[in-house]
Amino acid sequence: MLRIVVCVSGGGTNLQAIMDAERQGRITNTEMIAVISNNAKAKALERAAARNIPGIVMSPKGYPDREAFNAAFTEKMRELAPDLIVLAGFLVRIPPQMVAEFSNRIVNIHPSLIPSFCGVGYYGLKVHEKVLERGVKVTGATVHFVNEGMDEGPIIAQKAVYVEEGDTPETLQRRVMEQAEWVLLPKAIDDIANGRIAVRDGRAVSC
C-alpha cells in the first residue's frame, strides 16, 4: 500500500480528482495519509477534511527565514514517512534536502507541455496567460518527477489540449484541468503505486 501525502496551495481540484479516482477504483494500492497546504484558507483543506484526511498547514511565512521553514518542512515529511509526495498546485519550492531525501518519490503536475512555459515564474493562471500571449495552438499538462531544478525532473506523462478561438486564461485553465490534469495525475499515481513507472538513468520509464 503506497502512502501518499498531497501538497496543495489553493482550491484543490487536482486533490479532488485524486480522491475521486481512489473512490472509483481508478487509483489502487494507495492510502492518502495527509494533505499539506501553505495556505490556512485553502479549499483543499476542506476537501481533505470531508474525507477525514488530516490537513496540515505549513507556510514559509510562519518561520523566521526560508532555511528554518525548509528544515521544519523536511522534518514533518520525515515524520509522515510517505512513499510518494504529490505536488498538486503547490506554490512553494521544495527544499533541496527534501528532494535529496525523497529522490524519485516526489511528483508534480504542471499546466503546460514541458519544456514550454515552465520554470521560475510559470505557475497557475500565469502559464495560460503566457500561452495566449504567445499565440500557440496546442498546450496541455505534464506530470514529472521532481529534482533540484524547476520543472526539470523526468517526465512521466503529457497530454495535449487545443487552444480555442476566444479563449481567456480562465477558460483555457479549466479545459487543461478537465482534459489533461485530472486525467494524467491520477493515472500517474496509479502507475507508480502498481509498479508500472520507475526512474532509470534520469528518465521515467514503463516497467
Instruction: Record the cell numbers describing residue 21, joined without a space.
Output: 479516482
* Options 47, 110, 128, 187, the catalytic residue: 110
128 is catalytic: no
* CA atoms 113, 116, 119, 124: torsion sign: negative
Question: Could you give the angle at which helices 182-193 and 13-24 cross, rounded to 10 degrees?
Answer: 50
Q: How far apart are CA 122 and CA 126, in angstroms?
A: 6
Q: How far apart are CA 180 and CA 202, in angstroms?
A: 24
Query: So which residues are the catalytic ones?
Result: 110
